[in-house]
Structure 1
Amino acid sequence: MLFIVIPVFNRWAFTEACLRSLQEQTQPDFRVIVVDDGSTDGTGEQLRRQFPEVEVVEGTGQLFWTAGVNAGIRRALQQGADRVLTLNNDVVAAPDFVERMLHWAQRMPTALLGPLELDVHTRQPVYGGEVFSWLTHTRRDLLATLGPEERHGLHPVTYLPGRGLLIPAAVFAAIGLFDEKRLPHYLADFDFTSVARRHGFPVYINYDAHLLTYPEESGQEQTRRHRSLQGYYQHLFGIRGGGNLRNFTHFALKNCPTPLVPLFLLNGYARRLTGYFLHG
Structure 2
Amino acid sequence: MLYVIIPVFNRWHFTRACLQSLQEQKEQNFRVVVVDDGSTDGTAAHLAREFPAVEVLPGTGQLYWTAAVNLGIRHALARGADRIMTLNNDVVAPPDFIESALRWARRQPSALLGPVELDATTGQPVFGGETFSFLTHQRHNLLATLPPEDRCGLHPVTYLPGRGLLIPASVFVTQGLFDERHLPHYLADYDFTSQARRAGFPVYVNYDTHLLTYPDDSGQVQTRQRRSLRGYYQHLFGIRGGGNLRNFTYFALKNAPVFFLPFFLLNGYLRRLLGYFLH
TM-score (norm 1): 0.99
What's the offset of the Cα at 1:31? 0.1
Aligned to 2:40: 40
Aligned to 2:72: 72
What's the offset of the Cα at 1:169? 0.1
Cα deviation per residue 1:65-105 (whole Å; 9 max; x = unaligned)? 00000000000001100000000000000110000000000
What's the offset of the Cα at 1:46? 0.3
What's the offset of the Cα at 1:138? 0.3
What's the offset of the Cα at 1:137? 0.2
SS in 2 for 1:275: helix
- 2:222 counterpart letter in structure 1: Q
> How well do the aligned residues superpose, as a CA RMSD in angstroms?
0.3
Aligned to 1:252: 252
Aligned to 1:189: 189
Aligned to 1:99: 99
Structure 1: gaps (5+ residues): none
Q: Give distance in 1, aligned partners of 2:145 and 2:79.
A: 41
Aligned to 1:22: 22
Q: Give distance in 2, aligned partners of 1:248 and 1:19.
A: 32
Q: Give distance in 2, aligned partners of 1:26 and 1:217.
A: 28
- 1:202 counterpart letter in structure 2: P
2:119 matches 1:123: no
Name the count of aligned residue pairs.
279
Aligned to 1:61: 61
What's the offset of the Cα at 1:173? 0.1
Q: Give distance in 2, aligned partners of 1:172 and 1:218.
A: 27
Q: Give distance in 1, aligned partners of 2:20 and 2:206.
A: 22
TM-score (norm 2): 1.00
Cα deviation per residue 1:245-271 (whole Å; 9 max; x = unaligned)? 000000000000011000000000000
Q: Give distance in 2, aligned partners of 1:201 and 1:217.
A: 32
What's the offset of the Cα at 1:179? 0.1
Q: Within 5 Å, give how 1:218-237 maps onto structure 2.
A: 218-237=218-237
Aligned to 2:111: 111
SS in 1 for 2:259: helix
Aligned to 1:141: 141
Aligned to 1:150: 150
Q: Give distance in 2, aligned partners of 1:145 and 1:136.
A: 19
Q: Give distance in 2, aligned partners of 1:75 and 1:92.
A: 24
- 1:197 counterpart letter in structure 2: R
What's the offset of the Cα at 1:114? 0.1
- 2:20 counterpart letter in structure 1: R
Q: Give distance in 1, aligned partners of 2:138 and 2:94.
A: 31
Question: Structure 1: which 4+ aligned runs deviate by more than 4 Å?
Answer: none
Q: Give distance in 2, aligned partners of 1:200 and 1:239.
A: 30
- 1:237 counterpart letter in structure 2: F
Q: Give distance in 2, aligned partners of 1:80 and 1:146.
A: 38
Q: Give distance in 2, aligned partners of 1:182 and 1:79.
A: 27
2:59 matches 1:81: no
SS in 2 for 1:258: coil
Q: Within 5 Å, give how 1:159-238 maps onto structure 2.
A: 159-238=159-238
What's the offset of the Cα at 1:5? 0.2
What's the offset of the Cα at 1:164? 0.5
Q: Give distance in 2, aligned partners of 1:146 and 1:27.
A: 29
Cα deviation per residue 1:38-86 (whole Å; 9 max; x = unaligned)? 0000000000000000000000000000000000000000110000000
- 1:132 counterpart letter in structure 2: F
